[in-house]
Amino acid sequence: MINLKNRAFNILTLTLVSTVIFVILLILQYFKVISEYTGLLLTLAGIYVIVSLSLNLITGFTGQLSLGHAGFMCVGAYTTAIAIIKYGMPIPIALILGGIMTALFGLAIGIPTLRLRGDYLAITTLGFGEIIRVIIVNLDSLTGGAAGLKGIPTFSNTGDFIIDAIIRFSWVYIIMILVIAVIHNLINSSQGRAIISIREDDIASTSMGVNVAYYKVYAFTLSAFIAGVGGGLYAIFFGYLNPAMFGWLNSVNFVVIVVLGGMGSITGTIIAAVVFTYLQEWLRVFADFRLVIFGLALIILMIFWPKGLMGNKELSITGFIRQLRSGEFSPRQIKTKWNEFRQKKGRKKDGRAD
Amino acid sequence: MAVLEVKNISIEFGGLKAVSNFNLKLESGELVGLIGPNGAGKTTIFNMLTGVYKPTTGDIFLSNRENLTKRVNGFKPYQITQNGAARTFQNIRLFKDLSVLDNVLISLNFNVKYNSLQAILRTTAFYKEEEKLVEKAMAILKIFNIDTKANELAKNLPYGEQRKLEIARALATGPNLLLLDEPAAGMNPQETEDLMKLIRFIRDEFKLTILLIEHDMKLVMGICERIIVLDYGQMIAEGPPEEISKNPKVIKVYLGEEVEFDA
Ligand SMILES: Nc1ncnc2c1ncn2[C@@H]1O[C@H](COP(=O)(O)OP(=O)(O)O)[C@@H](O)[C@H]1O
Ligand SMILES: [Mg+2]
């Protein structure tokens, strides 16, 4: 529940926490406690977090499966890259432009697919992602075709490796925090409740006066915008683009991240996206077997953890601090909690509970 | 002043006439019962009134709280709700995985006084309105005596309270006309009686017009001022309870349940 008294507390704590994490990560990178490679991975993870969160907005919160997010990323990436290379636009403008262009695509797909749900929507969005790729291959004068676009200038070029790495990381991290704030604040508002009610039961939702079509398109468009910005960052991060970077398997990966993290959990998505980025790199030695390992891991996780890492709950720092203050974590409390937990587990085992 | 006027609506499902030439006029403040055996078409009528189904023929006129009358055929359910008619569902359709409070807050969505940009920027207007919304929702929950469970998940409420939450949620949309589809289904006699008192109370308190579907004859007889009997999609009788209970056509339809009349 939201109330005025907690407002300052919440904003202060969250700003403080994200700044502290940010500064720590910067220091670690600056003094090479974490290698340049790890720094790169962290930055890439940030981009994955942004795109996964945007997907969570429609899949987790609105309850619609989209397999077109690599396509959205692709639109954003190319728009941003072209804006920078061909028109010399500054990075922030190019990123926003990428977002807007992708949002237009989102709107164009969102409206006609309104009536579709489940598998049908998934297949349509999958098709969209592939169409985007084909278009980009064939628009060679603008996009460089299958060969791709090269020479996208990076965030900074100071000549100092570490400074460049830190600036690159800062760009992604700050935008990621903004995206988290936007989605969190939207979801925890009347508009957000309307969006979630669609996932829960769309007939009940419309019967309670929620304009379901409007909110579906709204979520879709906003999601596309954010994915487009993520795509723009991706383009600048790698410095080159080609259509193969946005195959449908990437869309599937984002769905995997959202499902693993827990549909409708922001913190779950963040954790899953970071873990996923690392796994993807570590498993590179297995080459194509990587996919088999991923598939198996996914099946096993879904059997034992069907609601994903977090379900639809959130890890809450402010909530945690409040609990600390209220003595919730006194040794005695923890002991009773632990006992309750063990009892619950025990009951689950003999299959009589629930 | 008629709150609802239904003229000759019919609907077919693949050749089956589920409702034919149904007429109805509800005056402001009335509490009317719609009864009939299972499959008579009662829920289908609700679905047409609320825009879930579009009638094949006929007209529906609905007045909102400002006495503005609109022809609502072809309106989407959310438009009907925003024009003053709210409903509950026979098979409970709560937002199960959301809190009791959120279930009611969702009904306040279309009147909310901040936009999503203000929500994202967490402006003062947002916090003020949010406080008001919660206050309003809690007040409604209190009427149904479930305010103490505001933070529980809807699915964890006992059955009777889930039925109450359905009504609370509909009431929160600020309706002129309330459509209740078997609100007491599955309740025990004591719960049923309490619920009927509650329905009367909210009718008076909120100056509502109520159309209530019920399966159990005895129950409607007790609280409705007028009763409409439906059989095979057609209205077979209409009138005050005493008249209905003596109507030979109704007795025939409810054959075997006659015992319940004299209660
Ligand atoms: N969507 C639908 N498709 C086909 N038949 C339907 C549909 N909705 C209702 N019916 C049929 O219409 C008839 C009336 O159903 P209903 O209105 O639910 O009855 P009740 O009076 O018990 O509420 C039934 O024969 C039912 O099978
Ligand atoms: Mg029914």
Instruction: For residue B61, give the CATH number of its domain.
Output: 3.40.50.300
pLDDT at B261: 46
Rounded Cα gap, residues B58 and B147, in angstroms = 42
Is residue A115 within 8 Å of A93, Cβ to Cβ?
A: no
Average pLDDT value for chain A = 86
pLDDT at A162: 87
Order of all β-strands in the sheet with B209-214: B85-87, B177-181, B209-214, B31-35, B226-231, B234-239
How many percent of chain B have pLDDT more than 90? 75
Q: Is B110's Cβ below 8 Å from some Cβ in A?
A: yes
Confidence of residue A223 (pLDDT cuts 50, 70, 90): very high
Q: What is the b/e burial string over A111-121, where b = at least 16 CB atoms within 10 angstroms of the residue's CB?
A: eebbeeeeeeb
Ligand 1 contact, B110 CB (< 6 A): no
Residues B33 and B12 in one domain: yes
Rounded Cα gap, residues A334 and A345, in angstroms = 16
Q: Is residue B89 part of a domain?
A: no
Residues B67 and B136 in one domain: no
Q: Is residue B69 part of a domain?
A: yes
| pLDDT, tens digit (0-9, with 9 covering 90-100), for B58-108 | 999 999 888 889 999 989 999 999 999 999 999 999 999 999 999 999 999
Ligand 1 contact, B39 CB (< 6 A): yes
**Ligand in closest contact with the CA of B41:** 1
Chain-chain contact of A193 with B50 (C-beta, under 8 angstroms): no
Average pLDDT over residues A25-52: 90
User: B109: domain range?
Assistant: 94-173
Alpha carbon nearest to ligand 1 atom 12, residue: B18
pLDDT at A333: 66
Residues B214 and B163 in one domain: no
Confidence of residue A332 (pLDDT cuts 50, 70, 90): low
Question: Do strands B57-63 and B2-13 pair parallel, antiparallel, or not at all (unpaired)?
Answer: antiparallel
Q: How many domains does chain B have?
A: 2
Confidence of residue A352 (pLDDT cuts 50, 70, 90): very low
Out of B144, B173, B202, pick the residue that ends a domain: B173
Whether the complex's predicted ipTM is more than 0.90 is answered with yes
Inform me whether the pLDDT recorded for A351 exceeds 50.
no
Average pLDDT over residues B18-25: 94
pLDDT at A306: 75
Residues B233 and B108 in one domain: no
- Closest listed residue to residue A179, CA positions, set A238, A110, A246, A227: A227
Output the CA B34–ligand 1 centroid distance in Å. Answer: 15
Is residue B24 within 8 Å of B228, Cβ to Cβ?
A: yes
| pLDDT, tens digit (0-9, with 9 covering 90-100), for B202-226 | 999 999 999 999 877 777 888 899 9
Out of B173, B193, B214, pick the residue that ends a domain: B173
Residues B246 and B236 in one domain: yes
Residues B165 and B230 in one domain: no
Helix then strand then coil, in percent of chain B rounded to 5, is 40, 25, 30
Chain-chain contact of B131 with A212 (C-beta, under 8 angstroms): no
pLDDT at A327: 58
Q: Is B125's Cβ below 8 Å from some Cβ in A?
A: no
Out of B158, B173, B188, pick the residue that ends a domain: B173
How many percent of chain A have pLDDT more than 90? 50
| pLDDT, tens digit (0-9, with 9 covering 90-100), for B172-206 | 999 999 999 999 888 888 888 889 899 999 999 99
Ligand 1 contact, B38 CB (< 6 A): yes
Query: What are the φ and ψ backbone dihedral angles of A267, each rounded to 5 degrees?
Result: -65, -35
Ligand 1 contact, B20 CB (< 6 A): no
Is residue A42 within 8 Å of A177, Cβ to Cβ?
A: no
How many CB pairs (< 8 A) connect A and B? 119
Bigger pLDDT: A124 or A343?
Answer: A124
Average pLDDT over residues A142-163: 88
Q: Is residue B253 part of a domain?
A: yes
pLDDT at B258: 47
Average pLDDT over residues A20-37: 86
Q: In CATH, which of 3.40.50, 2.40.50, 2.60.120, 1.10.3470 is domain A35-315?
A: 1.10.3470
Output the CA B126–ligand 1 centroid distance in Å. Answer: 43
CA distance B167 to chain A (A): 11
Residues B169 and B186 in one domain: no
Chain-chain contact of A189 with B151 (C-beta, under 8 angstroms): no
Inform me whether the pLDDT recorded for A142 exceeds 50.
yes
Interface test with B, best of A207, A215, A217 (most B CBs within 10 A): A207
The three state secondary structure string of A290-330 is HHHHHHHHHHHHHHHCCCCCCCCCCCCHHHHHHHHHCCCCC
Rounded Cα gap, residues B199 and B176, in angstroms = 14
Residues B157 and B179 in one domain: no
Output the CA A215–ligand 2 centroid distance in Å. Answer: 30
Average pLDDT over residues A306-318: 75
Considering only CB atoms, which chain B residues are within 8 Å of A3? 127, 130-131, 134
pTM of the entire structure?
0.89
Confidence of residue B263 (pLDDT cuts 50, 70, 90): very low
Average pLDDT value for chain B = 91
| pLDDT, tens digit (0-9, with 9 covering 90-100), for A260-301 | 888 888 999 999 999 999 888 888 888 778 778 878 877 887
Amino acid identity, position B111: N
pLDDT at A41: 92
Is residue B103 within 8 Å of B164, Cβ to Cβ?
A: no
Q: Is residue B235 part of a domain?
A: yes
Residues B179 and B257 in one domain: yes
pLDDT at A328: 55
Average pLDDT over residues A63-86: 94
Beta-bridge partners for B237:
B229
Amino acid identity, position B64: N
Residues B238 and B194 in one domain: yes
Residues B65 and B181 in one domain: yes
Rounded Cα gap, residues B213 and B208, in angstroms = 16
Question: Within B124-255, where are the H helices?
Answer: 124-143, 159-171, 189-205, 217-223, 241-246, 248-253
Confidence of residue A22 (pLDDT cuts 50, 70, 90): confident
Residues B191 and B212 in one domain: yes
User: Among A111-120, A143-152, B175-184, whose mean pLDDT is lowest?
Assistant: A111-120
Q: Is residue B182 part of a domain?
A: yes
Count of CB atoms situated within 10 Å of the CB of B156 = 12
CA distance A207 to chain B (A): 5
How many percent of chain A have pLDDT more than 70? 87
